């Protein structure tokens, strides 16, 4: 049996794509291997959201080519995902030993190409076609991620996604619900709906994310529902109400603000002000005061002053942001910012601001975690580490470790009395 090895970079959307490709290859006589040198096919599923990410791909390809020369000259190499889309044929110019190049909306073509085409580069946008012949993910993962919406019609000036994943499209409601049923029958107890603008999901019959959530919540075995990534202005009252009315919707929302300064938000072409953003947060907390918000934050965007950066720090304290991601701005090809703005914040200031912001986010997370000591938290167990050690997640995406002599807790929601906490982990025992 021929073997394949998949390496995935970047966001959960890429992980989802790799899992579907994995499941589909397995139905076509291929077997997965975690030893790259034994593979007949090596697939890199790539991310180009930051400059470093693109260069990382070529250093990986160089290493793979060395293994190919040493162990298996017949090995096929495929580059899929956003770097493939960003660079297209350039991938093979820089790495001529790469056989296949497919974008995030065309990697399904690899399946046919493996049967009859020695090399192929096609980064077209096949939208929903991509999903047609894909097998469902067979893993018994307790948390299942399901892509429901892809692409983006917004044009944030720093972002390469509109170029790499192109225009927005939503998958059909019934198809998505069929996939929900399949992953639940495979053991999933938490459903995480994915999209670049997941809260803008709407299928051809007008079904939206709230409809998907309500239908999924009716499935008895489903214990938790989450969705990521949301765009602030697409958060409807209908979705906000579900934080109060549907107990399976976890009180945790990823809602990227990106920056705290109105001047920077305007330059980023984000369609809201900091005041608009805070008003959305206040609305959510009125419906359910326990909701926790996570964000993505960029420091050092073109023209950002120390005052602008202070607005970002204030926003992080005001909301406050937990479980958040923060980055230094790096110009990306095919983006309005790269064409129109000077990358004028010097690297030293970018690094220093990022450090200050990450120290603050770290402190906020630590305080939040330590405030859980002595409390009882509902934990969905998603890992059995053996020897009586289980891992799971709280409703607030906190990692929780418990030691117990109980068995068979995988997929169960258990009450855990928190005994200790660090910035990254809560320790507890069954209540």
3-class SS at 163? helix
Least distance (Å) from ligand SF4 to the CB of residue 320?
Answer: 22
Asked if residue 181 lies in contact with residue 212, where contact means CB atoms within 8 angstroms, the answer is no
Cβ contacts of 185 within 8 Å, gap of 6 or more = none
> Does residue 257 belong to the site contacting ligand SF4 (CB under 6 A)?
no
Region 185-224 residues binding ligand SF4, contact defined as CB under 6 A = 196-197
> Does residue 156 belong to the site contacting ligand SF4 (CB under 6 A)?
yes
Instruction: Please choose, from the candidates 248, 254, 352, the residue with its C-alpha nearest in 3D space to the C-alpha of residue 295.
Output: 254
> Does residue 337 belong to the site contacting ligand SF4 (CB under 6 A)?
no
Least distance (Å) from ligand SF4 to the CB of residue 280?
Answer: 15
For ligand SF4, the binding residue among 41, 161, 297, 400 (CB under 6 A) is 161
What count of residues does the chain have? Answer: 431
The Cα 319–Cα 280 span in angstroms is 11
> Does residue 13 belong to the site contacting ligand SF4 (CB under 6 A)?
no
Least distance (Å) from ligand SF4 to the CB of residue 130?
Answer: 18
For ligand SF4, the binding residue among 231, 252, 301, 321 (CB under 6 A) is 231
* 46 or 197: CB nearest ligand SF4: 197
> Does residue 227 belong to the site contacting ligand SF4 (CB under 6 A)?
no
* 147 or 197: CB nearest ligand SF4: 197
Instruction: Please choose, from the candidates 153, 166, 353, the residue with its C-alpha nearest in 3D space to the C-alpha of residue 269.
Output: 153
Q: Which two tokens stand for residue 283?
A: 């609305």
End-to-end distance of the chain based on CA atoms, in angstroms? 48
- Rounded (10°) angle between helices 274-287 and 306-318: 10
> Does residue 162 belong to the site contacting ligand SF4 (CB under 6 A)?
yes
The Cα 283–Cα 272 span in angstroms is 15
**How many other C-beta atoms lie within 10 A of the C-beta of residue 342?**
9
Cβ contacts of 58 within 8 Å, gap of 6 or more = 94, 95
Least distance (Å) from ligand SF4 to the CB of residue 335?
Answer: 9
> Does residue 152 belong to the site contacting ligand SF4 (CB under 6 A)?
yes
* 210 or 297: CB nearest ligand SF4: 297
* 40 or 296: CB nearest ligand SF4: 296
The Cα 146–Cα 55 span in angstroms is 29
* 24 or 199: CB nearest ligand SF4: 199
Residues that contact ligand SF4, how many (by CB under 6 A): 10
For ligand SF4, the binding residue among 7, 154, 262, 399 (CB under 6 A) is 154
| Residue whose tokens read 């291997």 | 33
The span of 159-167, 281-289, 383-391, 414-422 binding ligand SF4 (CB under 6 A) equals: 159-167
Instruction: Please choose, from the candidates 234, 226, 165, the residue with its C-alpha nearest in 3D space to the C-alpha of residue 197.
Output: 234
The span of 100-108, 157-165, 198-206, 398-406 binding ligand SF4 (CB under 6 A) equals: 157-165
Give the strand pairing for 426-430 and 41-46: unpaired
Least distance (Å) from ligand SF4 to the CB of residue 15?
Answer: 17
Question: Rule CB under 6 A: which residues touch ligand SF4?
Answer: 152, 154-156, 159, 161-162, 196-197, 231
């Amino acid at each position: 049996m021929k073997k394949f090895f998949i390496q995935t970079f970047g966001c959960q959307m890429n992980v989802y794509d790799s899992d579907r490709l994995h499941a589909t290859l397995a139905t076509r006589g291929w077997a997965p291997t975690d030893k790259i040198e034994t593979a007949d096919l090596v697939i890199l599923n790539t991310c180009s959201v930051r400059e470093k990410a693109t260069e990382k791909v070529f250093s990986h390809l160089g290493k793979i080519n060395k293994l190919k020369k040493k162990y298996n000259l017949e090995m096929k190499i495929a580059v899929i995902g956003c770097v493939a889309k960003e660079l297209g044929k350039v991938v093979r110019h820089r790495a001529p030993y790469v056989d296949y190049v497919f974008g995030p909306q065309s990697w399904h073509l690899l399946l046919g190409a493996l049967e009859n085409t020695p090399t192929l580069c096609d980064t077209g946008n096949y939208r929903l076609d991509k999903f047609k012949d894909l097998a469902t993910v067979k893993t018994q993962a307790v948390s299942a991620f399901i892509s429901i919406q892809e692409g983006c019609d917004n044009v944030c000036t720093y972002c390469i996604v509109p170029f790499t994943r192109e225009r927005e499209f939503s998958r059909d409601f019934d198809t998505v619900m069929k996939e929900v049923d399949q992953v639940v029958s495979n053991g999933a107890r938490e459903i995480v709906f994915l999209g670049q603008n997941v809260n803008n999901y709407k299928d051809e019959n007008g079904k939206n994310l709230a409809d998907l959530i309500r239908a999924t919540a009716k499935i008895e075995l489903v214990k938790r529902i989450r969705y990521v990534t949301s765009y602030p202005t697409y958060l409807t009252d209908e979705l906000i109400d579900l934080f109060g009315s549907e107990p399976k919707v976890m009180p945790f929302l990823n809602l990227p603000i990106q920056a705290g300064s109105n001047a920077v938000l305007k330059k980023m072409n984000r369609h809201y002000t900091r005041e608009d953003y805070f008003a959305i947060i206040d609305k959510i907390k009125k419906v359910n005061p326990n909701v926790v918000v996570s964000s993505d934050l960029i420091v050092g965007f073109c023209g950002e002053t120390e005052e602008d950066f202070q607005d970002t720090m204030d926003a992080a304290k005001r909301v406050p942001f937990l479980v958040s991601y923060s980055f230094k701005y790096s110009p990306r090809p095919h983006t309005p910012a790269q064409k129109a703005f000077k990358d004028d914040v010097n690297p030293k200031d970018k690094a220093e601001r990022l450090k200050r912001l990450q120290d603050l986010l770290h402190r906020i997370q630590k305080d939040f975690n330590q405030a859980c000591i002595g409390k009882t938290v509902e934990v969905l167990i998603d890992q059995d580490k053996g020897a009586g050690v289980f891992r799971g997640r709280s409703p607030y995406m906190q990692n929780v470790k418990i030691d117990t002599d109980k068995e068979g807790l995988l997929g169960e929601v258990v009450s855990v009395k928190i005994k200790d906490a660090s910035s990254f982990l809560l320790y507890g025992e069954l209540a």
